[in-house]
Structure 1
Amino acid sequence: MARGDLTGEEWSLVEPRLPSGERGPIPDLRQQFNAVVRRFRAGGPRRDPPAGYGPWSTTRDRFRSWATVGVFERLTPVMIAEAAARGQADLDLLRRRRVKAVTAGS
């Protein structure tokens, strides 16, 4: 797990809220989500992700498909509300890792 990747507990909050693939479960879904989040958090060259995140084109395609269907706009407020219900410590953790609401055109 790379620095900044979601912990197991954080992933358990995110995973059920991501759309499933058209042909069934998406392999390496957690890795792809971490790659998309890393791109927003750390910036850096789009076509030069760190080893372990997979091809840059997969990250781009996954981001576009999620942004097009509004995953980030729906995920952020739900995650904050759920973290608040679990307690202040979880809320602080999610605020540090929150993904900005973005659109496919951004």
Structure 2
Amino acid sequence: MPERYGPWARGYDLFRRWQRDGTWQRIFTELQARADAEELISWDLSIDSTVCQAHQQAAGARNRGSCRPRGRAASLSSRMTTVSDARTAA
């Protein structure tokens, strides 16, 4: 900051005061309104509704191993019949 403005802390205090009382927002709004009136701003919008979620372990959940339920294996009688099984049975 140039020395003619005094110590940097004074400039920072003024900046924060203007930020808190809305001076910067009013300046921005006025400049934006003028630019819009002169058609210097293009108001193209792009709206995306994509949702991205992290896996539960990424969020800190405990990793308890495999997702398969524990228990007995399926019996042979419940296994699916394939085409080759059907030919040998016939």
User: Which TM-score band (shorter chain)?
Assistant: 0.3 to 0.5
Structure number with greater CO (CA < 8 Å, separation at least 6) is: 1
Larger CA Rg, structure 1 vs 2: 2
Q: Give the structure-1-normalised TM-score.
A: 0.30
Q: Give the structure-2-normalised TM-score.
A: 0.34
